[in-house]
Structure 1
Amino acid sequence: MEVLYSFYDNLIRQVRNDFYRFLMRTIKWEQRMLAIKGPRGSGKTTLMLQYIRFYLKQPRDCV
């Protein structure tokens, strides 16, 4: 489990806040289930990592 936490912490540290995806304000984050789909390289993972890092109080709970 520590390997997973280490990988996760490394990903979160690399996320920058100089550019936000335009969907950040459009998505209703309080819903129980979300589906984000799009072509490869469109920023889906970056969108999720930015939300986790900058908007959640306990980012480690996402793992």
Structure 2
Amino acid sequence: MRVVSGKYEKGMKMRQVRIGKDVVISDALTFMAGDRSHVEEAYPGDILGLHNHGTIQIGDTFTQAK
């Protein structure tokens, strides 16, 4: 997932627009070559890896849930 605007914070509630449901993302990762590390916060331009259990598709949009 690429952060386009705003800020990602660990455990924040986000809305997955395609399915219309709120999800909590608390286990996002950053990666560089073979290194992977958990992320506390991310800013525009950062790329995060998310665990996918079959609900996320390429092109999905996430927004901050209200």
Structure having the higher strand fraction is 2
TM-score, normalised via structure 2 length: 0.27
Please identify the structure whose Cα radius of gyration is greater: 1
Structure having the higher helix fraction is 1
